[in-house]
Amino acid sequence: MLIPWLHTTVRTIVLIGLIITWIGTIIPIFPAPAVMWGFILFYGITAGFETRGWIFFAIITVLTIISTLADNFFTIRGARQGGARWASVAIASVVGLIAGLALTPIGGILASVGALFAAETAFTHNTQTAWEATKQWLLGWGWATAVRLAIGFVALMLWVAWAWL
């Protein structure tokens, strides 16, 4: 256990980091669940886990995994419901990842949307079909963001219960 003033300082820094990271969840490429988990791990290492801490940390770890998987699940499900082919989804995902790393997260988003539309247009030769798949991809991203925000908020509240109560 840390000395009281240092414990309060660590808790405050982690709380600020968690809140900023939770807000950052709205940036689709930003790995907010993993960063939040990292802040919580840092707290556990510095303050000590003990039995109660391990229980909270285990629950938060499961939520982090679910949140990370939800992003891909909802986005891909949306595109597939819109009629996108698996090949188009793969192309859009790879282009988005490369563009997100080479440019900015916003560049990655725009590139993946453009790549999905272009790939679907190339496969179907129909811009209406391609646009429907692209709209559903974006709708899936929106649902994924909402789910990640909700799960991130629950993880934040669990950490508050562990660290502050």
Tell if the pTM clears 0.85, that is, is over it.
no
Give the distance from CA 123 to its chain's centroid. Answer: 30
pLDDT in tens, 42-52: 999 999 899 99
pLDDT higher at 30 or 136: 136
Please, which residues have CB within 8 angstroms of residue 99's CB and are 6 or more apart in sequence? 107, 108, 110, 111, 112
* pLDDT score for 17: 97
Domain ranges of the chain: 4-164
The arithmetic mean of pLDDT across residues 21-33, rounded, is 86
Sign of CA dihedral 76, 82, 109, 96: positive
